[in-house]
Structure 1
Amino acid sequence: MLPRFVGRLGVADAVTIANAALGFVAVVVATIDIALAARIILLAAIADGLDGILARRYGGTDAGPYLDSLADVASFAVAPAVLTFVVVTGGLEIEFDAVTAELLLVTGICALFVAMAVTRLGMYTAYDISGSYTEGVQTTLAATVLGAAILAGETHPWLVLAVTGAFCYLMVSRIRYPDLLARDAAIMGVVHALAILVPDFAGRTFPYALLTLGLAYMTLSPWLYWGQTERSSEVDVHGNA
């Protein structure tokens, strides 16, 4: 007897499910090789964008939006929170043989990141999925910024913790972020792929470039991107969340 999803799910859904699996792999790898874990999260972000392209090309399914948000919980909520936890506790040399104020602070912020990411994903699926913009920083963008920062060597523990804490608010803020035009998404996608494939090339050029593009979109696009008129060619480089 075939599983019940046979004939009900499409190729885009398969990529979405692979995205969730990559999130789990990133969590496992984080305690062994933090740079590799960051690359896996960035790969999951590419999968998150690819499933949207495939859904538009071959058609989506009724389960697609729900699968997308569930997968993003693994890849862009839990996995980046674990990355932050490992980087910060390692950088501060926090021991785990006793509960300390520093350990409680790091754990609390990472747990809040997961909670706010899940909240944002639920709000997106309910209210933003059909529009040309979304409210709050995308979970994929937050994970991308954290992953790119780690690959770029920007791993000062208090800085990483502060950025993670800031995302806890930004993901559920009312700031409107427009969908990217196709050409802009393509540029960012190329840089994204190069940051994964050759992160150490020319002094970590591509992770720094990806980090710069991500921060530029996050800080400037709500105010400077609305003049675009080519709405018909927009795609969301950060998938559905």
Structure 2
Amino acid sequence: MMFKTLRVPDLVTLGNALFGMMAIFSACSGHTDLAFIFILFAAIADGMDGFLARRLPNSAIGEYLDSLADAISFGVAPAAALYFIYGYSHPYIMAIGACFYLFCGIIRLARFNTKQKTIPDFEGLPITASAVVIASYLLMADRYVQFYGVIAIMLLLSFLMVSEYPYPKLRGLKSMAFVAIVFILPIASYIVLPAYLPIFSTAMFLLLLLYLESPIMRIPRKYYED
């Protein structure tokens, strides 16, 4: 059976896909905040499977499994969630924007798997980061979340995903620990202190904006490694 070939990193990758499906189910049920929290959970699982894959034995299908899970959690899930939120009022614009985002995300994943890597960084914005930008924006206070702001962010992220801008990979333990805290705070606040969710989501969104413009600012790679 194929299940016998799976390794620990693959199980975490399947957890990523599971969180993505839960995000879709939540959005479909009208629990949109929960949908974006599940996307954050999926992003944590995506980071964990990469961390484990560098330290534990891998299966032959691990790399392909990861891309399929990412397509669900960071491509389909945010696109579907946004359509469930805005499709009733702007069905055509939202459908076009969501599909365009999904297409660019899939193209980004396909390029990542097939193109020979010539730089140590990501080429183009990772689809995981794109989905987290959307999730953090939608979890902010309602007065800051506007339909055309969502469309503008989706178009920007779509362009950055298929661009050739270099985006640094997080390698250092300090950087990864900091990012883990940034992710855990909105998740924990959603569960324990919902009133603080917009605050932590806003902080996450602003930090992600710094990452989005890192190719322009030419932030040294050492910053992400330390």
**Structures share fold, TM-score greater than 0.5:** yes
- Amino acid of the structure 2 residue aligned with 1:20: A
Residue aligned with 1:216, SS:
helix
Per-residue deviation, residues 137-156 of structure 1 (Å, max 9, x unmatched): 11000100110111113431
Is 1:41 aligned with 2:39?
yes
Contact between 2:138 and 2:145, CA under 8 Å: does it hold in 1?
Answer: yes
Aligned counterparts, 1:1-241, within 5 A? 3-6=1-4, 8-31=5-28, 32-89=30-87, 93-94=88-89, 102-127=90-115, 131-153=119-141, 154-182=144-172, 183-199=174-190, 200-202=194-196, 204-220=198-214, 223-226=217-220, 228=222
Matches of 1:129 and 1:67 in 2, distance apart? 19
User: Aligned in 2, Cα 1:186/1:221: closer, same or farther, shift over 3 Å?
Assistant: farther
Contact between 1:188 and 1:213, CA under 8 Å: does it hold in 2?
Answer: no
Contact between 1:188 and 1:210, CA under 8 Å: does it hold in 2?
Answer: no
User: Aligned in 2, Cα 1:5/1:221: closer, same or farther, shift over 3 Å?
Assistant: same
- Amino acid of the structure 2 residue aligned with 1:12: P
State the Cα distance separating 1:127 from its structure 2 match.
2.4
User: Aligned in 2, Cα 1:171/1:114: closer, same or farther, shift over 3 Å?
Assistant: same
Identify, as 1 or 2, the structure richer in helix: 2
Per-residue deviation, residues 61-113 of structure 1 (Å, max 9, x unmatched): 22111000000010000001112212323xxx52xxxxxxx422211111111
Per-residue deviation, residues 26-69 of structure 1 (Å, max 9, x unmatched): 11111321000000001000000010111122222221110000
What is the CA RMSD across the aligned residues, in angstroms? 2.1
Contact between 2:83 and 2:91, CA under 8 Å: does it hold in 1?
Answer: no
Looking at both structures, which has the greater relative contact order when contacts are Cα pairs under 8 Å and sequence separation is at least 6?
1
- Amino acid of the structure 2 residue aligned with 1:28: F
State the Cα distance separating 1:158 from its structure 2 match.
1.4
> Percentage identity across aligned positions?
31
Matches of 2:201 and 2:223 in 1, distance apart? 30
Matches of 1:141 and 1:85 in 2, distance apart? 19
Residue aligned with 2:3, SS:
coil
Contact between 2:189 and 2:197, CA under 8 Å: does it hold in 1?
Answer: no
Q: Higher mean Cα deviation, 128-137 or 37-46? A: 128-137
Matches of 2:223 and 2:203 in 1, distance apart? 26
- Amino acid of the structure 1 residue aligned with 2:98: C
Matches of 2:224 and 2:36 in 1, distance apart? 33
Contact between 1:116 and 1:169, CA under 8 Å: does it hold in 2?
Answer: yes
User: Aligned in 2, Cα 1:73/1:129: closer, same or farther, shift over 3 Å?
Assistant: farther
Per-residue deviation, residues 202-228 of structure 1 (Å, max 9, x unmatched): 463211111111111111256433352
Matches of 1:196 and 1:128 in 2, distance apart? 36
Residue aligned with 2:115, SS:
helix
Residue aligned with 2:53, SS:
helix
Q: TM-score, normalised by structure 1?
A: 0.83
Unaligned runs of 5+ in 2: none
Unaligned runs of 5+ in 1: 95-101, 234-241
| Matched positions, count | 219
User: Aligned in 2, Cα 1:227/1:144: closer, same or farther, shift over 3 Å?
Assistant: closer
Matches of 1:66 and 1:76 in 2, distance apart? 15
